[in-house]
Chain A
Amino acid sequence: MTMMNTTGSGNHHHGLLSKIATNDEHGENSLYFHGWKAYDDNPFHLTQNPNGVIQMGLAENQLSSDLIEDWMKKNQRASICTTEGVHMFKEIANFQDYHGLPEFRNAVAKFMGKARGGRAEFDPERIVMGGGATGANELLMFCLADPGDAFLVPSPYYPAFDRDLRWRTGVKLLPVECKSSDSFRITREALEEAYEKASESNIRVKGLIIGNPSNPLGTIMDRNTLKSLVSFVNDKNIHFVCDEIYAATVFKQPEFISVSEIIQEMDCNLDLIHVVYSLSKDMGMPGFRVGIVYSYNDKVVTSARKMSSFGLVSSQTQHLLASMLSDDEFVERFICESSRRLEKRHRIFTEGLKEVEIKCLEGNAGLFCWMDLRPLLKEATFEAETELWKLIINQVKLNVSPGSSFHCSEPGWFRVCFANMDDETVQVALQRIRTFVNEKKGTGKAAPEKKKKQWQKNLRLSFSSGRIYEDGCLSPHVLSPHSSMLRAQT
């Protein structure tokens, strides 16, 4: 790891800053970010840079922003900046109560219920704000575990958990391996084994955290598995944190089953159950930083609420969303249409991959596919995976995410995002993949180009010509991408 250029002698300087500030636990120096750098240095643009790197490492939902824009045009009073809405400006600008605007909490609770098809109801009094799911997850760790305690997490898992759950909290993460032979489903045996191992090493396990729907798998957890997890945590008297940030991205059967439904169907100590949510994926609004901690444990709600002072949602945003999310007709239409578009995009992409015999894990949710490139590996090693990955970035010019960055135990799997681009770009990406695979297979010729259609322009309306790498290190901002940089105004 390269040391950053610091003023004064390194040791002296380090002594003045905390360990947290100077260690690598934020995870942003990992090799993984090479792909990001490649993208940042040479970003694809349909007309301005058609040979650039296509960003497929970013789990953003850009398919349904137009629906929201439409709503905003029709509901100008929801913004405190418009003539229709400015009369609320003072009240909203002044509101910093960590309980949040009541109408915001009510609207979010309702939305969460709708995203679960009405099969679970949420109590607005339990809604606690966090600085995005990033802040919400960290906050929960601060409430549930002491430094040195551990949480079990099924692998492969979202890379940023390493930072969000561990960095400032001092909590350990113990991955529980899931195998492709089980379709990456977590098994009770694997959990028990991980728990035992921890106990033997004198590590205190405080809980289990899962992403459901899963990032990077794009799958939802089935009822039986969920039930067995609930019974596992009850047995061990440990916490169960369900990050359900992709709940409304489920685009085909089977239906999403939330832990909130399961606990209605079985005996469970509710004090152990906590849900993390956000609007960043379901609604495609990561910029608005709406994170939610929803706990069934009263003490956790109380404590978390006090902690939420460190990452409240801007009252301007609360006000806007309170209005938007209480528009039942809009919400229902949005959830439906968004799913439809995700399904279509997923189908187009996976069928395109099938044409060159690339399989994906069977998925029904999320903004990505878990792609199986094991047949293309030189050998079943992570070195080979990294080699293949570099090839894909540098030659095929697609920034995809290698399974190792998700702590996958088997080499050869890649996460590919498909919801952060327009239709035309998808076709370009598929074309490049087809060409690459065929070349690898030795056919030597590129697959025939599909006829390009005049789709709407690239989603990137503007982007800055220069990169901003203030900190001078290789780490791009994958965990906080600047992919839609706005040109600085004077």
Chain B
Amino acid sequence: MKLLSRKATCNSHGQDSSYFLGWQEYEKNPYDVVQNPSGIIQMGLAENQLSFDLLESWLANNPDPAIFKRDGQSIFRELALFQDYHGLPAFKNALVEFMAEIRGNRVSFDPKKLVLTAGATSANETLMFCLAEPGEAFLLPTPYYPGFDRDLKWRTGVEIVPIHCSSTNSFRVTESALEEAYEAAKKRNLKVKGVLVTNPSNPLGTTLSLDELNLLVSFISLKNIHLISDEIYSGTVFSSPEFVSVMEILNKKKYSADVELWNRVHIVYSLSKDLGLPGFRVGAIYSNDEMVVSAATKMSSFGLVSSQTQYLLSAMLSDKKFTRNYISENQKRLKQRQEKLISGFRSAGISCLESNAGLFCWVDMRHLLSSNTFDAEMELWKKIVYDVGLNISPGSSCHCSEPGWFRVCFANMSAETLTLAIQRIKDFAELTVASSSRRSHQSMKNSRRRSLTKWVFRLSFDGREPDERIQLQIISY
């Protein structure tokens, strides 16, 4: 009898993919301006490190608001004992107001419909447990966050069926792509329970357009399925168009009385990106469906937010002056940083998808490929990791259907480091263009996603045993 479960011995956690090679290499040789200036620069990590000073100065002005000072009494004991899965009321109130503020107060949220979870990782998994049986499916537009393969599928047994988006229309979701995905699921005998979108998108860095939002809502309305909108990056929208939450679409006259539809739209949120606090494990599910809220609340027992953290953040987020300033200043800095990356890459002859949000750019390196294949993408990627010294994320790891796209993060390093990264890519691009013009072009192949997967597994078993110590967990990419 096999000793461990199937889940423990399978690969569904997705962490054996060759994608992690980049991480491994970074860990072995991390860039440090003083100690290792020729090391690999980490650009595969979607962290927001630009605004810690704002948080630190708030703390300096509000020293230890928690543990010891409320009406002169110590509340440590109450906090240490507080494990109610309904969450700290003060925290939930502050959190829903923060969420509303990010949406320009065009929507408001009811704290009673909010369920706290251990990060968005847990929120997404919990929603799967609530909405689908093992073997059922959710449709996701590609490219998508690699972590979804683990979060949505691993322990739940739910399947992901991709909605293929293409560069020809800037990767926007189309009606035909949706229908195609739905049919593809049917052909695989998979019952589709819903659509999950990330808005703003990881890895694209774009917000869903009004057209797309309307399309999605009418699609799920027609098919009588769920829509999950992972809005974890909603606070990182730094230029127009403004962020439009799916909840705003529901507010429209057409849908406002359709209670059943409302019950099928759920939002996932977290403070990991907007506030740059991934370590604190603060996630949330927002649903209008009582039963979902009830079930998810019970399930949150498996991953509650530390009461210590809830308390700190309730104080911080209740400070409206602080949140207003933080949101706007943070967005300004992100915009600046993105513009720097975009112009830097442009001067290297590399263009990025036009974006207005997120902590990364979706970079077009198709012209640097030796052929229009995922093999060539991997080849290029390895060069960039090993030779150029930048750990960026290949589009294939995000299930992109076209080779040559890469996600490059810009908010997890200093401005100087970004300058250096841009210089490195410029040098590399110049070299590559020069050498490829001396070669004849190979014929373009349409390589199927499946052949990539085989290839990827071959690579990962290529004598390299993933060293657990070196592989950082991938909570965020």
Contacts and interface: CB of A to CB of B under 8 A. Distances in A.
A306 B155 CA distance: 11
Contacts of B274: none
Given A20-B295, A94-B278, A471-B290, A461 B73 contact: yes
Contact of A309 (B1, B47, B150, B193): B150
Interface stretch (B119-127, B355-363, B453-461): B119-127
Contacts of A62: 77, 81
A131 B448 CA distance: 40
> Of B60, B83, B294, B307, which is in contact with the most chain A CB atoms at under 10 Å from its CB?
B83
B215 interface: no
A60 B290 contact: no
A294 interface: no
10 contacts: A13-B263, A17-B130, A72-B67, A138-B302, A146-B5, A306-B13, A310-B302, A311-B118, A471-B297, A486-B75
B4 A300 contact: yes
B79 interface: yes
B366 interface: no
Interface stretch (A74-82, A345-353, A372-380): A74-82
Interface stretch (A208-216, A242-250, A280-288): A280-288
A51 interface: no
A26 interface: yes
A461 B3 contact: no
Interface of B: 1, 3-9, 13, 15, 47, 49, 52, 55-56, 59-60, 63-68, 73-86, 88-90, 93, 112, 118-119, 121-122, 125, 129-134, 150-151, 154-155, 193, 224-226, 259-260, 263-264, 272, 276-281, 289-299, 301-309, 312, 314, 318, 468-469, 472-473, 475-476
A470 B297 contact: yes
Interface string A449-464: 0000000000101101
Contacts of B297: 470-471
Given A21-B131, A311-B118, A16 B226 contact: yes
A481 B302 contact: no
A131 B63 contact: no
A76 B76 CA distance: 13
> Of A132, A297, A311, which is in contact with the most chain B CB atoms at under 10 Å from its CB?
A311
A391 interface: no
A472 interface: yes
Nearest to B73: A461
Interface stretch (A315-323, A357-365, A439-447): A315-323
Interface string A286-315: 111100000001011011111111111111
Nearest to B115: A470
Contacts of A146: 5-7
B4 A81 contact: no
Given A86-B59, A93-B276, A306-B473, A168 B129 contact: yes
A8 interface: yes
B424 to A, nearest CB: 24
Contacts of A489: 90, 93, 314, 318
A229 interface: no
A455 B83 CA distance: 27
Contact of A299 (B4, B290, B469, B472): B4
Contacts of B151: 309
Interface residues on A, range: 35 or more
Given A83-B64, A272-B3, A489-B90, 18 more contacts: A7-B290, A8-B259, A20-B295, A21-B131, A21-B296, A80-B59, A93-B276, A94-B52, A97-B473, A146-B6, A149-B5, A287-B306, A297-B3, A297-B4, A306-B473, A480-B83, A480-B85, A486-B75
Contact of A470 (B9, B276, B294): B294
A273 to B, nearest CB: 12
Per CB-CB distance, the 5 closest pairs between chain A and chain B, nearest first, are A315-B279, A98-B473, A287-B307, A482-B84, A311-B303
A272 B93 CA distance: 45
A433 B365 CA distance: 78
Given A72-B67, A305-B468, A470-B294, A8 B260 contact: yes
Nearest to A271: B3
Contacts of B312: 81, 316
A285 B299 CA distance: 20
Nearest to A301: B468
Interface string A138-151: 10001111110100
B473 A313 contact: no
A300 B8 CA distance: 7
A244 to B, nearest CB: 19
Contact of B272 (A66, A96, A286): A96
Given A93-B276, A287-B80, A317 B475 contact: no
A311 B472 contact: no
A29 to B, nearest CB: 10
B209 to A, nearest CB: 27
A74 to B, nearest CB: 12
Given A96-B476, A144-B4, A312-B118, A481 B259 contact: no
Given A20-B295, A470-B112, A284 B81 contact: yes
B96 to A, nearest CB: 12
B4 A97 contact: no
B76 A72 contact: yes
Contacts of B193: 16
> Of B1, B77, B131, B134, which is in contact with the most chain A CB atoms at under 10 Å from its CB?
B77
Contacts of A164: 301-302
B161 to A, nearest CB: 18
A80 B150 CA distance: 31
Contact of A93 (B65, B280, B303): B280
Nearest to A288: B306
Contact of B304 (A132, A144, A204, A487): A132
A112 B42 CA distance: 36
Contacts of B83: 132, 280, 286-287, 289, 480-481
A42 B276 CA distance: 42
